[in-house]
Amino acid sequence: MIRDLAITLERRAEFVHALKDETETVEQLTTRKTRLRDAVKALNAGLQTWHLLVQAGIVQSEQPRSLPGTLKQLDKVRNLARQNHLSLLDNDVHVALKNLKNLTDEVALDGQRLWQEHLDALKPPVPDALLDVLERHPEWTGRIRQWRTLNKEHARMRAPQPVTPTLIAQAQTLAEQYASLRRAMVELDLPAAVLEFFECTGDGRATLADLTPDILEWLRLHKLLSAFSVRLRPSL
């Protein structure tokens, strides 16, 4: 009787162990199928972003540099999976899936990087500290506030989000608004040469050579000389 009980318990243990192995196998298969599906989804999203940037003239290349390698890796995973349902559990597939994810991430990041560069080029490099100074002059207060409003819109666009035709159109509108406001400020006794000097100070390109007699005189007349300081560059 004890022997029969021991045999029964052993068989039950073997059954539980087999069931556990089968459950783990199903979970691994599900996980890897999900990873493959997510990789394809990420690749499609990245290519959609790239296509929109090409259509808008923001990107010249028809496809990301990493696309050929990504498609090759995707084909490898799919071919391995077609050979046998359980082949998704093979280590080769595990490595291929990992490489595929890295490549699809690269496609997505390339598109986002170029989009961010495009947005950065739209915003005139006038520092907030200078806007604070100009805003104190009554004749420029309204324009400077408009400038700050555009800067807030620019910051909103730079926040991580999918690139859509609507967002691209909004960026184009923002560029036109910046250009229009820039022209309006030039008309309000802010010479183009002075505004260009301000922009050079904003991105660190300004040197003493850029401070022409006309610009120096304009800054003196408007009591803005103290708004700037001179620093020595550590190297040329």
- Residue in the block written with tokens 């007349």: 221
Task: Report how far residue 170's alpha carbon sits from residue 91's, in angstroms, rounded to the nearest whole number.
Answer: 47
Answering whether pTM is above 0.75, one says: no
Task: Report how far residue 175's alpha carbon sits from residue 26's, in angstroms, rounded to the nearest whole number.
Answer: 53
Report yes or no: 146 and 221 within 8 Å, Cβ to Cβ.
Answer: no
**DSSP conformational letter for 160:** S
- The pair of structure tokens assigned to 83 is 């050979």
pLDDT tens, the chain, 236 aa long = 554 444 443 444 443 333 333 444 545 666 667 777 787 788 888 888 888 988 999 888 878 887 787 778 777 777 766 655 555 555 666 676 777 777 778 878 888 889 999 999 998 877 787 788 788 788 888 988 999 999 999 999 999 889 999 999 999 999 999 999 888 887 767 788 888 888 888 777 888 888 899 988 988 888 888 877 777 777 65
CA 27 to chain centre: 34
- Residue in the block written with tokens 């979970």: 27
Q: Domain limits of the chain?
A: 2-120, 125-227
Report yes or no: 93 and 81 within 8 Å, Cβ to Cβ.
Answer: yes
Residues in the chain: 236
Contacting residues for 213 by C-beta, under 8 A, at least 6 apart? none
H runs (alpha helix) in the chain: 2-55, 67-83, 91-122, 128-135, 138-158, 165-187, 192-202, 213-221
Residue 231, classed as helix, strand or coil, is: coil
CA 24 to chain centre: 38
